Amino acid sequence: MEHAETMPDYFAKINRTGGVGCDRLPTRIRVLASLHDRAPIGVASRIGRTEEGLALWRLRVRGANVPGRWVILGKWFVADEG
Protein backbone atom coordinates (compact mmCIF):
# COMPACT_ATOMS: atom_id res chain seq x y z
CA MET A 1 0.00 0.00 0.00
CA GLU A 2 1.33 3.44 -0.92
CA HIS A 3 1.54 6.16 1.67
CA ALA A 4 -0.33 9.24 0.48
CA GLU A 5 1.25 12.51 1.54
CA THR A 6 -1.33 14.82 3.05
CA MET A 7 -1.16 18.58 3.03
CA PRO A 8 -1.74 20.49 6.25
CA ASP A 9 -4.84 22.62 6.54
CA TYR A 10 -4.52 26.33 5.82
CA PHE A 11 -7.07 29.00 6.59
CA ALA A 12 -7.65 32.53 5.30
CA LYS A 13 -7.74 35.47 7.67
CA ILE A 14 -10.99 36.90 6.29
CA ASN A 15 -14.41 37.86 7.59
CA ARG A 16 -16.43 36.07 4.90
CA THR A 17 -18.05 32.67 4.52
CA GLY A 18 -18.87 30.53 1.50
CA GLY A 19 -16.91 30.46 -1.75
CA VAL A 20 -14.91 33.64 -2.21
CA GLY A 21 -15.12 35.44 -5.56
CA CYS A 22 -12.43 37.68 -7.08
CA ASP A 23 -14.33 40.88 -6.50
CA ARG A 24 -14.62 40.40 -2.74
CA LEU A 25 -11.03 40.36 -1.47
CA PRO A 26 -7.73 42.21 -1.81
CA THR A 27 -4.95 40.68 -3.90
CA ARG A 28 -3.06 39.44 -0.81
CA ILE A 29 -4.36 37.96 2.43
CA ARG A 30 -2.83 36.32 5.47
CA VAL A 31 -2.68 32.54 5.89
CA LEU A 32 -3.40 30.89 9.25
CA ALA A 33 -2.60 27.39 10.50
CA SER A 34 -5.79 27.28 12.56
CA LEU A 35 -8.93 29.32 13.03
CA HIS A 36 -8.10 29.34 16.76
CA ASP A 37 -4.56 30.73 16.32
CA ARG A 38 -4.83 34.13 14.66
CA ALA A 39 -1.05 34.55 14.18
CA PRO A 40 -0.32 34.45 10.42
CA ILE A 41 2.04 31.78 9.09
CA GLY A 42 2.15 33.04 5.52
CA VAL A 43 0.52 34.97 2.73
CA ALA A 44 -1.79 34.12 -0.16
CA SER A 45 -1.54 36.05 -3.43
CA ARG A 46 -4.48 36.17 -5.82
CA ILE A 47 -3.46 34.86 -9.26
CA GLY A 48 -6.74 34.66 -11.16
CA ARG A 49 -10.10 32.97 -10.94
CA THR A 50 -11.86 29.71 -11.68
CA GLU A 51 -14.49 29.27 -14.38
CA GLU A 52 -17.06 29.55 -11.57
CA GLY A 53 -15.68 32.97 -10.55
CA LEU A 54 -13.88 31.94 -7.36
CA ALA A 55 -10.56 33.62 -6.65
CA LEU A 56 -7.44 31.47 -7.23
CA TRP A 57 -4.50 31.80 -4.85
CA ARG A 58 -0.84 30.84 -4.55
CA LEU A 59 0.29 30.23 -0.98
CA ARG A 60 3.62 31.03 0.66
CA VAL A 61 3.86 29.52 4.15
CA ARG A 62 6.80 29.83 6.55
CA GLY A 63 8.97 31.18 3.73
CA ALA A 64 8.24 28.40 1.22
CA ASN A 65 5.85 28.22 -1.74
CA VAL A 66 3.06 25.67 -1.31
CA PRO A 67 2.49 23.68 -4.54
CA GLY A 68 -0.72 24.10 -6.50
CA ARG A 69 -3.49 26.63 -6.86
CA TRP A 70 -6.03 27.19 -4.12
CA VAL A 71 -9.57 28.49 -3.63
CA ILE A 72 -11.20 29.59 -0.38
CA LEU A 73 -14.31 27.76 0.81
CA GLY A 74 -15.59 29.16 4.07
CA LYS A 75 -12.26 30.26 5.50
CA TRP A 76 -10.44 27.10 4.41
CA PHE A 77 -7.95 26.96 1.53
CA VAL A 78 -8.82 24.00 -0.72
CA ALA A 79 -6.63 22.78 -3.57
CA ASP A 80 -8.10 23.68 -6.97
CA GLU A 81 -8.56 20.57 -9.09
CA GLY A 82 -9.26 22.48 -12.31
- Convert the pLDDT of each residue in 60-73 to its tens digit: 999 999 999 999 98
Summarised one tens digit per residue, pLDDT across range 5-54 is: 556 799 998 876 655 666 666 789 999 999 898 899 999 999 999 998 88
Q: Is the pLDDT of residue 76 over 60?
A: yes
Give me the pLDDT at residue 16, please.
64
Q: What is the DSSP string of 28-77?
A: EEEEES-SS--SEEEEEEEEEE-TTSBEEEEEEETTEEEEEEEEEETTEE
Give me the pLDDT at residue 29, please.
92
Give the global pTM: 0.80
